[in-house]
Amino acid sequence: MSCETSFTPKGPPPRDLNPNENWTFGDKTLRLKGDFRNAISALNLESEFRMGGPLVRGGLVLGYSGWVVGCTTAYDTMKSAFKDTKVSMGFVANDFTLNTAVTNGDVFSGSVYHA
């Protein structure tokens, strides 16, 4: 588990700053991360709290007997939409490796490596 914060100054406030005006002094973010791993799986989750709204990212990888399946995605709460969704599957044997992937449902890729 980890926590990161950042603050980007916008610049010095004007001398005639009216306290009744909506004045922001820069971008502020807070990022929380968590990971879990065991013998057959790895899970990570990251939440980034921004001025515009939180962005939640997550990923999961499962592996068993040479097979590997994984996915990762991000959810933008301001747009109420998923973005950067990737799903992949692979198989590893002694003499070859097979990998396939789909990105955002429209980009397909695959590879075969033979030793």
So what's the pLDDT on residue 91? Answer: 96
Domain-by-domain residue ranges, the chain?
2-8+27-114
Average pLDDT on 7-23 reads: 59
The answer to whether the CB of 32 falls within 8 A of the CB of 3 is yes
Q: What is the pLDDT of residues 22-31, one digit of tens each?
A: 555 566 778 8
End-to-end CA distance of the chain: 39
d(CA 75, CA 79): 9
d(CA 32, CA 35): 11
So what's the pLDDT on residue 70? Answer: 97
Q: Which residues make Cβ contacts (< 8 Å) with residue 13, sequence separation at least 6? A: 23, 25
| Better-predicted residue by pLDDT, 54 or 100 | 100
User: Cβ–Cβ contacts within 10 Å for residue 80, how many?
Assistant: 8
Indicate the length of the chain as a whole number: 115
What is the value of pTM for the model shown? 0.71
Mean confidence (pLDDT) of the chain: 85
